């Protein structure tokens, strides 16, 4: 089947709502036509800057305005990052994804350190991914020169439901950031979260936004909400495994070449449930005891599951893109522009977020 970039919500919902056995058969067929079904890519997350974020994302334990039990820290050093990357490599991981609790990247010494982290990990022959918030074209070019393999920036949900979860940043800016990444050789990693109280139409809406990008994102993380105490979404019901399977299968069918990543929420899933997600077309996971701030299955349990299912972790750089060449800082063609981009702040009121913020203020006063 040729790659399609004009999927509609109706078409996507029709796939999502198929009888389960039909859906699984179609997704597994598309998966085999486009990938080795016995190979799963393994990424390790590393929170290089944790907590204290100014944004109001209703799902996120790192938003400073809510009261969660996150121990924040300053930006990690390049040496610390190198040590963690080596550890990830020895446990079978082919990619390190560095996350920062930032609204957007700011030019300056911290960004220079991140560029050095990218150079360092690329030289270890691992794929390097970053998720640092909104990004200008110049910043994307500088990351590409340093040897970045992928940039993660999630749409999270549909444009309509996004407004009910986040008020401090706009959907358009997220799309703009992805387009800025596309102007470089960096691959795009973009997906979202299910289980935030959205309708099936919103899940389909998010998949419309992702699948109308041409080319499609090279990787699509599907997260199940991890409801964290103190966040506005703390009381959300856990996503049923069937919903995760349907979402993974639908993503696989409409974006056949993408790496579909079974992301947050795996501690809530049984080994059998995860196996069904792999059958439905998931071919990547986040491994390691921690995601950014919340628990993740133990790597030994993951490797035992791989053994039982006959799955092997993939080697780095076997997908679309070859290993990027790192340009050293002194040879860089792109200077820091000291930009101060005006990313939007919609600032509408989300009652759930406001109430949680108020509750947090009271708790902090006590």
Catalytic residues: 53, 57, 60, 97, 129, 189, 261
The 3 state secondary structure assigned to 140-181 is HHHHHHHCCCEEECCCECCHHHHCCCCCCCCHHHHHHHHHHH
Residues 294-353 that bind ligand DTB (CB under 6 A): 294
Q: Is the dihedral of CA 181, 183, 184, 185 positive or negative?
A: positive
133 is a contact residue toward ligand SF4 (CB under 6 A): yes
CB of 245 to ligand SAM, least distance (A): 17
Which has the closest alpha carbon to 92: 303, 346, 338? 303
Query: Please, what is the minimum distance in Å from the beta carbon of residue 225 to ligand DTB?
Result: 9
Our finding on whether 63 is near ligand SF4 (CB under 6 A) is yes
Residue 154 interacting with ligand DTB (CB under 6 A): yes
70 touches ligand SF4 (CB under 6 A): no
Residue 83: both structure tokens together = 């040590």
Residue 241: other Cβ atoms inside 10 A: 18
Question: Residues 47, 62, 223, 231: which binds ligand SF4 (CB under 6 A)?
Answer: 62
| 232 is a contact residue toward ligand DTB (CB under 6 A) | no
**DSSP letter at 113?**
H
Distances in Å between the Cα of 302 and the Cα atoms of 94, 183, 347 are 15, 36, 41
Cβ nearer to ligand SAM, comparing 46 with 292: 292
For position 152 contacting ligand DTB by CB under 6 A, the verdict is yes
Counting contacts by CB under 6 A, is residue 262 touching ligand SF4? no
Distances (CA, A) of 42 to 187, 283, 285: 16, 9, 5
Please say which residue, 30 or 291, places its beta carbon nearer to ligand SAM. Answer: 291
Polymer length in residues for the chain: 366
Q: How far is the CB of 10 from ligand SAM (least distance, A)?
A: 26
Residues in touch with ligand SAM (CB under 6 A): 59-60, 99, 101-102, 131, 133, 153-154, 156, 193, 223, 225-226, 228, 264, 292
Shortest distance in whole angstroms from residue 102 CB to ligand SF4? 7
* DSSP at 262: E
Least CB distance to ligand DTB at residue 109 (A): 23
3-state secondary structure of 106: coil
Task: Select from 72, 356, 349, 46 the least CA-distant residue to 227.
Answer: 356
Range 30-69, binding ligand DTB (CB under 6 A): 45, 61
State the Cα–Cα distance between residues 101 and 198, nearest whole angstrom: 24
The site for ligand DTB (CB under 6 A) is made up of: 45, 61, 97, 99, 131, 152, 154, 191, 221, 223, 226, 263-264, 291-294
């Amino acid at each position: 089947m040729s790659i399609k970039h004009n999927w509609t919500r109706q078409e996507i919902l029709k796939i999502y709502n198929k009888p389960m056995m039909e859906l699984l058969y179609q997704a597994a067929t598309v998966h085999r036509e486009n990938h080795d079904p016995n190979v799963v890519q393994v990424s390790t997350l590393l929170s290089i800057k944790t907590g204290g974020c100014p944004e109001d994302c209703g799902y996120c334990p790192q938003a400073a305005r809510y009261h969660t039990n996150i121990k924040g820290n300053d930006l990690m050093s390049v040496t610390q990052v190198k040590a963690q990357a080596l550890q990830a490599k020895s446990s079978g991981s082919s990619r390190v994804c560095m996350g920062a609790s930032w609204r957007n990247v700011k030019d300056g010494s911290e960004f220079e350190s991140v560029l050095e982290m990218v150079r360092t990990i690329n030289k270890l022959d691992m794929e390097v991914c970053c998720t640092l918030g909104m990004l200008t074209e110049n910043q994307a070019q500088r990351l590409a020169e340093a040897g970045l393999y992928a940039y993660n920036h999630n749409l999270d949900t549909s444009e309509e439901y996004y407004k009910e979860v986040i008020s401090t940043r706009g959907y358009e800016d997220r799309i703009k950031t992805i387009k800025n990444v596309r102007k470089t050789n960096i691959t795009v990693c973009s997906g979202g979260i299910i289980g935030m109280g959205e309708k099936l139409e919103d899940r389909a809406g998010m998949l419309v936004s992702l699948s109308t990008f041409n080319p499609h994102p090279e990787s699509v993380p599907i997260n199940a909400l991890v409801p964290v105490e103190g966040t506005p979404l703390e009381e959300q019901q856990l996503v049923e495994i069937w919903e995760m399977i349907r979402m993974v299968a639908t993503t696989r069918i409409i974006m056949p070449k993408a790496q579909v990543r079974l992301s947050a929420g795996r501690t809530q899933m049984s080994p059998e449930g995860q196996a069904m997600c792999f059958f439905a077309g998931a071919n990547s996971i986040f491994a390691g005891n921690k995601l950014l701030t919340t628990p993740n299955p133990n790597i030994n349990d993951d490797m035992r599951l791989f053994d039982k299912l006959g799955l092997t972790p993939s080697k780095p750089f076997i997908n679309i893109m070859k290993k990027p060449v790192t340009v050293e800082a002194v040879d860089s063609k792109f200077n820091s522009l000291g930009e101060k981009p005006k990313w939007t702040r919609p600032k509408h009121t989300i009652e759930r977020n406001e109430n949680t913020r108020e509750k947090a203020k009271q708790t902090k006063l006590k």
